[in-house]
Amino acid sequence: MEYVTAVPHPRSEAAGPARAGRISLAVALPAGALGAAVALLSTRQRWSEGTTTVAGGAFSLTAKGSDVTGVPAALAIVGLAALVAVFAVRRAGRLLVAALLALSGAGTVAAALLGASDSSALDDKAAQAAGDTSATVHALSHTAWPYVAAVGGALILLAGLLALRYGRYWPAMSGRYERAGAARPRRRAAGVDPDRPEDLWKALDRGEDPTSA
């Protein structure tokens, strides 16, 4: 009895990674863009509040995220730039940019969580309001905005991890034109028989010009 071994078609083997690349791209792009927007928006909101004593009375103080730390906003901008740049590079360059994207997200998360319990920004404001460098803030409380910024950072991190894992399947910016704006000449088709349609189609698939002499 003879056994016939089925040989998988090359197109079916490539369908899996290609599909994973499309799905990961569809997730990473909105996740990274949304994460950067959330992190930037969160740093403009009130993160903490408290009171200090000024002239014998209570004086209310508030601190925005940008007062507490500028790291989440800066890293969110870096992450957004890396998300765009990942399509402009290939191979090792894409891995490096994807790693930068992931690190931007991780740094945003860490900075936001550290800022969630920070009191130095309000202490500085208390010292300015009281005119006393030893003045501190009392009745300190924090809002949920630092954690919202951390969620934004987590989305950027997710985009970076997807780029690291599936970025090699993502499309790249077209290299059809030179920097000067002139179109690159097509490669000359070698060994193409103009009387054989299958040769013409194969040449076109390879990006060659079957009509060139």
Confidence (pLDDT) at 182 = 47
27 closest CA partner among 143, 170, 182, 202: 170
**Residue at token pair 């309001």:** 129
CB 149 within 8 A of CB 41: no
Q: Which pTM value belongs to this model?
A: 0.73
CA distance linking residue 199 with residue 191, whole number of Å: 8
Across 33-44, average pLDDT: 96
pLDDT tens for 137-171 read 888 889 999 999 999 999 999 999 999 999 888 88
What's the distance, CA 35 to chain centroid? 8
What CATH code is assigned to 19-169?
1.20.140
List the domain boundaries for the chain: 19-169, 186-213
